[in-house]
Amino acid sequence: MVKIGDIALGDFPLLLAPMEDVSDPPFRFVCKQQGVDLMYTEFISSEGLIRDAAKSVQKLDIFEYERPIGIQIFGSEIESMVEATKIATLAKPDLIDINYGCPVKKVACKGAGAGILTNPEKMVAMTKAIVEATHLPVTVKTRLGWDEKTKNIVEVAERLQDVGIQALSIHGRTRVQLYKGEADWTLIGEVKNNPRMRIPIFGNGDIDGPEKALEYKNRFGVDGLMIGRASIGYPWVFREIKHYLNTGERLPGPSFEERLEACKIHLRKSLEWKGHNLGLIEMRRHYANYFKGLPDFKEYRTRLVQSMDAQEVDEILKEVNTQYAELTWMDS
């Protein structure tokens, strides 16, 4: 049984990676329906929380059905991160997660996210201060290092554990790599197999289906997997991986009806949580993935992403249903 503090996650948990503008409550709802074991909010700016910025505060929204769930924060100043931790703790998540992995320039080049990988001393000091600022378990998501010359994750993992984190998720790329090339899980395996490590180690990067999930589980011995991009518009990746790990059999992909229903639920939740206009805009990134493999879908997708009227979107989805309901699904 894998546990973070007192949070039991099963024998080999699957985690939803925190993704900016993706892993919001509407998306988390459809992922939870497909068996994800632990989810995180989108990353939240510590400065935004301290200033009570509306966008940052809204990201604190969590719902009972999402549990267990962690709130993820990022920032470059220790004092601000401590204050943000206290604010996030009041939202009553199950854990606090620190983002030391975001490679985006506007974050990393200000010393936050993966930017702190150039300063391990500050990284450890910040983590210690955050652990001391909350009664909740603290976890970390990070990368192998800043670049090829600074892949110091094995040492950093020990030091983070020593100051009190209770789980570590590692993305198998450096900050310089961004999301290019293939994730290198070798060092993730080294961290997991380091006899000094006592906390759960979760691997992240390039897990796109059941076969790779099983291969990496066996090769690198991690305690669970964190899945990000493969789940966008395809929350069924969680149930498919679980089924494969348990039975060795590959589940058939979701039917057209399942895809359409998930899309409609996601849309409804998006409108409820974000309001009409932003709810429609935020859904645009998901349509292509929900209906991936449908022949001649481009025209419908164009209309869906251009519409700024929820009723019109609903009508377009009804047309999609009429057009494709009898079709045997063909994944591309």
> Across residues 193-214, what is the average pLDDT?
96
Domain CATH for 311 = 1.10.1200.80
Question: Which segment of 86-95, 146-155, 198-207 scores lowest on mean pLDDT?
Answer: 146-155
**83: Cα within 13 Å, side-chain hemisphere:** 14
Phi-psi region of 117 (alpha: psi -120 to 50; beta: other; left: phi over 0): alpha
- C-beta separation of 151 from 144 below 8 A: yes
Specify whether 25 is located in the same domain as 60. Answer: yes
pTM: 0.93
Measured between alpha carbons, how far is 100 from 74 in angstroms, rounded to an integer? 7
Q: Could you read off the pLDDT of 32-57 as tens digits, one per residue?
A: 999 999 999 999 999 999 998 988 99
Q: Are residues 32 and 58 in the same domain?
A: yes
Give the tens place of pLDDT for each residue, 73-103: 999 999 999 999 999 999 999 999 999 988 8
With 80 as the cut, is the pLDDT of residue 110 above it?
Answer: yes
**Number of domains the chain contains:** 2
Identify whether 217 is part of a domain. Answer: yes
Q: What is the pLDDT of residues 251-283, one digit of tens each?
A: 998 999 999 999 999 999 999 999 999 999 989
Q: Which of 194, 221, 247 is the last residue of a domain?
A: 247
Full domain range(s) for residue 287:
256-324
Same domain, 223 and 269: no
Residue 14 pLDDT:
98
Here the tokens at position 286 are: 């998901």
- Enclosing H/E stretch for 269: helix 256-274
Radius of gyration of the chain (CA): 20
Residue 275 belongs to a domain: yes
Q: What is the CATH number of the domain that holds 226?
A: 3.20.20.70
What is the token pair recorded at 19? 């993704």
pLDDT tens per residue across span 165-190: 999 999 999 888 778 888 899 999 99
φ, ψ (nearest 5 deg) of residue 80: -65, -40
One domain, residues 241 and 278? no
User: Are residues 261 and 235 part of one domain?
Assistant: no
Active site residues per annotation: 102
**Helix 120-132 × helix 78-90 angle, to 10°:** 30
Of 226, 247, 268, the residue at which a domain comes to its end is 247
Is the preceding peptide bond at 68 cis, omega within 30 degrees of 0? Answer: yes
207 and 298 in one domain? no
What backbone torsions phi and psi does residue 233 show, to the nearest 5 degrees? 75, 0
Report how far Cα 296 is from the mean position of its chain's Cα atoms.
Answer: 31
Is the confidence at residue 330, as pLDDT, over 80?
Answer: no
Query: Which tokens go with 103?
Result: 């490679």
Report yes or no on 68 lying in a domain.
yes
Q: Which of 247, 275, 296 is the last residue of a domain?
A: 247
pLDDT at residue 6, as a whole number: 94
Q: Which two tokens stand for residue 115?
A: 């930017």
**In 18-142, which residue ranges form alpha helices assigned H by DSSP?**
25-33, 46-50, 54-58, 78-90, 105-108, 120-132
* Residue 96 host element (H or E): strand 95-100
3-state secondary structure of 167: strand
Under 8 Å between Cβ of 81 and 130: yes
CA dist., res. 214 & res. 249, Å (int): 11
